[in-house]
Chains A and B, each alone.
Chain A
Amino acid sequence: MHSILQRGNAILAYTLSVLACLTFVCFASTVLLNYRTHADLNTVKVVVKNVPDYSASREKNDLGFLTFDLHTDLSHLFNWNLFLYLTAEYETANNKLNQVVLWDKIILRGENAVLDFKNMNTKYYFWDDGNGLKGNNNITLTLSWNIIPNAGLLPNIFAHGSHSFQFPVDYTTSRMVRLN
């Protein structure tokens, strides 16, 4: 006859292999999906200041402020959790590539995934690593997302459509600019 140990072992092994199979099917059923879609981006208000960055080097760095419009419909493309982020990408004399995340949002499954923001403030400060924002005429805003599946790969995907803008050639000195 089979002992309790053998029975327990069999049950545990069977449960684990069924779970592993299910997880694999879960992964396989989503691995080939196309997660790209369009996003409309626009900047509304853009100013740049030159102020000491107390969070880093304490030197005077360029600090950009902007508000943006964002319209996109992500509801048809995801069934998992999404991590959305808006990146500003640009080139300066100091650095060949700068990427700064200005805003992000977590969308859980079941939540509203049709986004329509008007005149949104950024979530993070747009600090440059030096003084490369003033008069910079090619800053590209892109929306991307990182898909967090039940199990499987963690792809980072760019939206179709980006928006390029330039910063003014003069620093703003007024204290009226706020970032909420």
Chain B
Amino acid sequence: MDIASLFDDVKRMNKRQFLYQVLSFGMIVSSALMIWKGLMVVTGSESPIVVVLSGSMEPAFHRGDLLFLTNYPDEPVRVGEIVVFKVEGRDIPIVHRVLKLHERENGTVKFLTKGDNNSVDDRGLYAPGQLWLTKRDVVGRARGFLPYVGMVTILMNEYPKFKLSVLGCLGFYVLVHRE
């Protein structure tokens, strides 16, 4: 395709039409943001969809699988569940399974996790001196699973140039083409 013809649509637009294009572009971005924030409200989790980044839960989850989380405060944590938790000093949340749990009369819970594919529990991954996780550390609990889809995110995070070019192309396409 001829490069110049790409701009044909733009050339035919007047100022108002071009502004309309920019607005519709803004619309796409803001609705994506709204869906994300809406999911946060519905699921109660600060990060309702996460991508599995490591192989520590194989063969259940592989790198690039997508997990849907919920984090309702009145839902108790139980052994065998897959929780996503944050550890002080680590940016990336960890997805592992609850191995041990002790709950007191007043409802405070402490628990220990382990990755299915790891041979030892997670005490070595926690912050120095931390022996247990509590409810505060939990980002969410895995409820749904979709394979491979998160690979796109991993690609984009590992190759920032790829991310920029994809986003650039999409933005360009939306701006230049008329509905």
> Which one of A32-40, A70-78, A141-149 is at the interface?
A141-149
> Which one of B18-26, B77-85, B86-94 is at the interface?
B77-85
CB <8 Å contact, B131 and A97: no
Asked whether any CB of chain A lies closer than 8 Å to the CB of B99, the reply is: yes
CB <8 Å contact, A154 and B143: yes
Annotate B90-134 by CB proximity to A: 1 below 8 A, 0 otherwise.
000000010111111100001000001000000100000001000
With a cutoff of 8 Å between Cβ atoms, the chain A residues found around residue B1 in the complex are 3-5
Question: Which of A101, A129, A149 has the largest count of B CB atoms less than 10 A from its CB?
Answer: A101
CB <8 Å contact, B123 and A55: yes
Contacts of A59-98 to chain B: CB distance below 8 A: 81, 83, 85, 87, 94-98
Q: What's the least CB distance linking B89 to chain A, in Å?
A: 20
Asked whether any CB of chain A lies closer than 8 Å to the CB of B144, the reply is: yes
Question: What count of chain A residues pass the 8 Å CB interface test?
Answer: 35
CA distance A151 to B100 in the complex (A): 27
Q: What's the least CB distance linking A125 to chain B, in Å?
A: 10
CB <8 Å contact, B131 and A153: no
Residue from the list B100, B123, B142 in contact with A154, Cβ < 8 A: B142
CA distance A106 to B105 in the complex (A): 33
A150 touching B147 in the complex, CB below 8 Å, given contacts A95-B103, A101-B99: yes
Interface, chain B (partner A; CB < 8 A): 1, 59-61, 78-82, 97, 99-105, 110, 116, 123, 131, 142-147
Interface, chain A (partner B; CB < 8 A): 3-5, 23, 55-57, 81, 83, 85, 87, 94-101, 104, 106, 108, 124, 127, 129, 144, 146, 148-154, 156
